[in-house]
Amino acid sequence: MMQRLKQTLAGRHKQRIADPGLERSAVLLPVYDKQGECHLLFVKRTQEVKNHKGQISFPGGAYQEEDGALLNTALRECAEEIGLMTGDVEVLGELDDVITQVSKYIISPFVAAIPWPYQFELNRRETEEIIEVPISALLEVRPWRQETRVINGEAVPSFFYHYKDRVIWGATARILNQFLDIYA
């Protein structure tokens, strides 16, 4: 499955967003095989972080000059937030950039295979918990709800995915929707 996903991602053209008024950031979509089924890893952010308090997201954060590249941002943030070390990550490819409407970030998402099981070490200031979601469960609800909102005169699709008692929404749901379109 991982090889097929890597080939699919390699064969597509990434849509990049360039806007000097927005801050660059990157996230990692960790994909892993658990008992014969592919899963995605999400994090629940704490109430202590600057933006997106308490939201479910992919691990990642803001670009820093010393990162040099957005992939390095995603890898650094994963190591900081959940203890996922760079050497344990196999980058499979990139998804299209996504903008956060409220906090004004451009997010560059990277899809990566990770080993399972893994000994994560949560940074309790940033990460409240890790949430494992079977991809098949997300494909079943595709999405639970979808709306179009007009923000600054532009129609923006909004997706809402439910898994157990969790709701994945916002930029994370737009990234997830893009991933599921490619994965399916």
Within-domain flag for 183: no
Residue 131 and residue 42 in contact, taking contact as beta carbons nearer than 8 Å: yes
Q: 123 in a domain, yes or no?
A: yes
Omega prior to 30 cis, within 30 of 0: no
Contact 41, 8 (CB under 8 A): no
pTM: 0.92
The pLDDT, as a whole number, for residue 70 is: 98
Domain presence at residue 34: yes
Does the pLDDT of residue 11 top 80, yes or no?
A: yes
pLDDT of residue 49: 62
Q: Residue 119: inside a domain, yes or no?
A: yes
| Residue 20 domain-assigned (yes or no) | yes
Mean pLDDT, residues 83-109: 94
pLDDT at 68: 98
What average pLDDT does range 161-177 have in this prediction?
92
**pLDDT tens profile 90-99:** 999 999 999 9
Q: pLDDT, tens digit, for every residue of 33-84?
A: 999 999 999 999 987 766 656 789 999 999 999 999 999 999 999 999 999 9
In a domain, 165, yes or no: no
pLDDT band at 155 (very low <50, low <70, confident <90, very high): confident
Q: Work out the mean pLDDT of the chain and round it to a whole number.
A: 91
Residue 9 lies in a domain: yes
Q: CA 96 from chain center: how many Å?
A: 11
What band does 144 get if pLDDT is binned at 50, 70 and 90?
low
Q: What is the CATH number of the domain that holds 76?
A: 3.90.79.10
Q: How far is the first Cα of the chain from the last one, in angstroms, to the nearest whole number?
A: 11
d(CA 78, CA 85): 7
Domain annotation covers residue 182: no
- The count of structural domains within the chain is 1
Q: What is the domain extent for residue 10?
A: 2-135
CA 62 to the chain's CA centroid: 13
Does position 112 have pLDDT exceeding 70, yes or no? yes
Q: Say how far apart CA 97 and CA 73 lie, in whole Å.
A: 14
